[in-house]
Structure 1
Amino acid sequence: MPPPAAYPGAMTTVLLTGFEPFAGDSANPSGDAVRAVAARWDRAETLIVEVLPVTFADAAARLRVLIERHSPDVVIATGLAGGRSAVTPERVALNLADARIPDNAGVQPTDAVVVGGTPDARFATLPVKRIAAAVAAASVPSSVSLTAGTFVCNAAMYTVLDATADRAGVRAGFVHVPWSTETAPAGAPALALADIVRALEIAIDVSLTSDDGRPLVGGEIA
């Protein structure tokens, strides 16, 4: 896997992750979209982008390394929700790994915890309602979701929230995206990859501002 893309800028750092293909798919629009965001990035903030393995253990471990190494102010992990037709910021992560199918390492946990000795659930610290509203206002379908499932996406979200729980001012969470029209299986709900990319850029924009529009700089509202 290539190293994360880094863009030097101001003291504010954004970590954006997607996932590799899984379950025999040839593409994953979350990975495609975060790479596209990186290719277009021209802001002052530092952007760290990485495409993660779809494995419970390795995705969690890599997220913790990235957070420890880069101390991001905003963390947005993304993944594919194949049956959805909208971009859906997630509000809640469960401390539960209960896989319907094996991950890409062949691991299929049942009724397991994501992180032992921690709460049963954690809430996103991203402004999920503002993100969904802003994305929808840009004519990209979007709504807040109350379930990230119990597969690797949920485990990644829970890990991100656990890893940032003691980091004051950090905004963190997860955004599910639908299939892109360019790679969707026949009959699957989908959005153009350009719309997914735009939605993630909007999610970053919103996460970098307070409710009244003031910028987030180095973990603090200016």
Structure 2
Amino acid sequence: MRSILIAVIDNPGPQTGTELYQQLLSLADWQVAKDCQVQVEHLPCVFKQSLTALEQLITNCKPAYLLLINQCRSKVDIQVEKVALNINDASEPDNNQQQPRDSLTAQHGPAAYFSNLPLSAIVDALQNHALPARLSYSAGTFVANHLFYGLMHYIKHQNTSLHGGLIQVPLTPAQACKFPGAASMSTSLVLEAIKLTISISLAHSDSMLRSTG
């Protein structure tokens, strides 16, 4: 049985809430394939602590795929992130009032890692389903990028069979109304995007196995 882990990153600051996480819990009942089980968890918006929590989730869930989901009020579309940078440079405090500036996630790690998901195929599928999505080459320098880099560093050194990546999405309408000018996206569209991402990732993996079999 393959496990697919969806890890939703908590929002920073006063808009911290569990609306998206609560909506995505329905994915646990989704039968994407006979040999797959979807699990949905959340991660704190806190530097370092979030990485400890992420590694604990990986140990407990033993996923074959791990998809980080982050809401960001500066996003106007679905961003499928390609590059995780080895830098923490927070323009605001995290939820433990930490605000690292120009520091590293991994002291002896490379400058960047790339996601090992089939990103172009994912973006094509999202766009073909009329979802506003694009490939992004900058995940920022806040907690989402910190987790993304930490995940890819873990994959490189401890679990090369794990596939992982980060998708960033706009706020929900209920959240965006508190920030004049902020874009929004319904949780139903985010849910559809995540389902497509998982389906394409599994199909790509299965086709690779068949071609090498």
TM-score, normalising length from structure 2? Answer: 0.88
More helix by share: 2
Inter-partner Cα distance in structure 1 for 2:18 and 2:134:
21
Please say if residues 27 and 38 of structure 2, whose CA atoms lie closer than 8 Å, have aligned partners that are also in contact.
no
Aligned to 2:167: 175
- Which amino acid is the alignment partner of residue 197 of structure 1? L
Separation of aligned partners in 2, 1:221 and 1:71: 24
| 1-structure distance, mates of 2:131, 2:96 | 34
| 1:22 to partner: Cα distance | 1.8
Alignment-derived partner of residue 25 in structure 1:
15
**What is the rounded CA distance, in whole Å, between the counterparts of 1:155 and 1:34 in structure 2?**
22
**1:155 aligns to what?**
146
Cα displacement (A) at 1:101? 0.5
| Residues 215 and 14 of structure 1: CA distance in aligned 2, closer, same or farther (over 3 Å) | farther
Identical residues among aligned pairs (%) = 25
Query: Within the alignment, does 1:42 sit opposite 2:31 as a pair?
Result: yes
Q: Displacement of 1:132 after TM fit?
A: 1.2
Against the structure 1 CA distance between its residues 30 and 207, is the aligned structure 2 distance closer, same or farther, given a 3 Å change threshold?
A: farther
Deviation track 1:165-206 (CA, whole Å, cap 9, x = no partner) reads 142332111100111223323431111110011101111111
Deviation at 1:28, TM superposition (A): 5.8
CA distance in 2: counterparts of 1:65 and 1:27, whole angstroms: 22
Give the structure 1 partner of residue 45 of structure 2: 54
Whether the aligned pair in 2 keeps the contact of 1:14 and 1:75 (CA below 8 Å) is: yes
Q: 1-side partners of 2:104 and 2:202: how far apart?
A: 31
Which amino acid in 2 is paired with 1:214?
S
- The Cα shift of 1:55 comes to 0.3
Deviation per residue, 1:4-39 (Å, 9 max, x gap): xxxxxxx2111110022322115366534532433x
Report how many residues are paired: 208
Aligned Cα root-mean-square deviation (Å):
2.3
Secondary structure of the 1:83 match is coil
Structure 1 stretches lacking a partner, 5+ long: 1-10
User: Structure 2 vs 1, CA of residues 20 and 148 (structure 1 numbering), >3 Å: closer, same or farther?
Assistant: same
In the alignment, what sits opposite 1:192?
A: 186
- The CA distance in 2 between the partners of 1:199 and 1:60, in whole Å, is 25
Taking the TM superposition and a 5 Å limit, the aligned residue runs for 1:26-175 are 26-27=16-17, 30-38=20-28, 40-43=29-32, 44=34, 45-166=36-157, 167-175=159-167
- Structure 1 residue runs of 4 or more that deviate by more than 2 Å after TM superposition: 26-38, 68-71, 166-170, 213-217
